[in-house]
């Protein structure tokens, strides 16, 4: 199953970028063996519209354009369901095993996700009740993708 990760905003160079790359690389190799590849990461520019509503709408159009071929859309949103790492791994495995050729995981920008993205999503997940900067949210997502892959592979990385 091909994975599309699309997020609004750019992760800054330096420590944030290095940590994101670390987990992306770790997931990449393991994901191939588990049928979770290729993984395509997209960074969309933040909208410059005057209002949060317009910014979300413009960013939503871009996110949905990248996810247009996805059989399953997972949106990260504060209103989404909080999951354990085990449950997230199970969700990815289920989507893959149910025959999805492509799954998209969408991450909004500072103003959140457009209603159109939330409506298009097959699954809405929350990374937790606290607000995270979008760069940090992307790092957490990358680590959780790697962790999910280790869970599916029976690797000892996840010890909960």
Could you report the per-residue pLDDT of 24-51, keeping only the tens digit for each? Answer: 999 998 999 999 999 999 999 999 999 9
Of 94, 74, 104, 101, residue with least CA distance to 151 = 94
Give the span between the Cα atoms of 103 and 96, in whole angstroms.
Answer: 8
Give the span between the Cα atoms of 78 and 145, in whole angstroms.
Answer: 18
Mean pLDDT, rounded, of the chain: 95
Mean pLDDT to the nearest integer, 65-77: 97
Q: Residue 16 above 90 pLDDT? A: yes
Find the Cα–Cα–Cα–Cα dihedral 101, 104, 105, 109, rounded to 10°.
Answer: 170
The pLDDT assigned to 133 comes to 86
The pLDDT assigned to 92 comes to 98
The pLDDT assigned to 131 comes to 85
Reported pTM: 0.95
Extract the tokens encoding 107.
């991450």
Mean pLDDT to the nearest integer, 81-100: 97
Give the span between the Cα atoms of 96 and 124, in whole angstroms.
Answer: 17
The pLDDT assigned to 160 comes to 64
């Amino acid at each position: 199953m091909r994975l599309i990760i699309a997020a609004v905003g750019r992760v800054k160079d330096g420590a944030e970028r290095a940590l994101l790359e670390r987990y992306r690389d770790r997931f990449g190799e393991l994901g191939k063996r588990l049928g979770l590849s290729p993984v395509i990461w997209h960074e969309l520019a933040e909208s410059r519209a005057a209002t949060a509503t317009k910014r979300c709408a413009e960013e939503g159009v871009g996110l949905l354009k990248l996810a247009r071929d996805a059989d399953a859309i997972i949106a990260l949103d504060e209103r989404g369901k909080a999951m354990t790492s085990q449950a997230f791994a199970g969700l990815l495995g289920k989507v893959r095993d149910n025959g999805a050729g492509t799954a998209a995981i969408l991450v909004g920008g500072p103003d959140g996700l457009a209603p159109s993205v939330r409506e298009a999503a097959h699954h809405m997940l929350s990374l937790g009740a606290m607000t995270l900067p979008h760069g940090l949210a992307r790092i957490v997502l990358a680590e959780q993708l790697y962790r999910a892959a280790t869970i599916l592979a029976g690797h000892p990385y996840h010890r909960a």
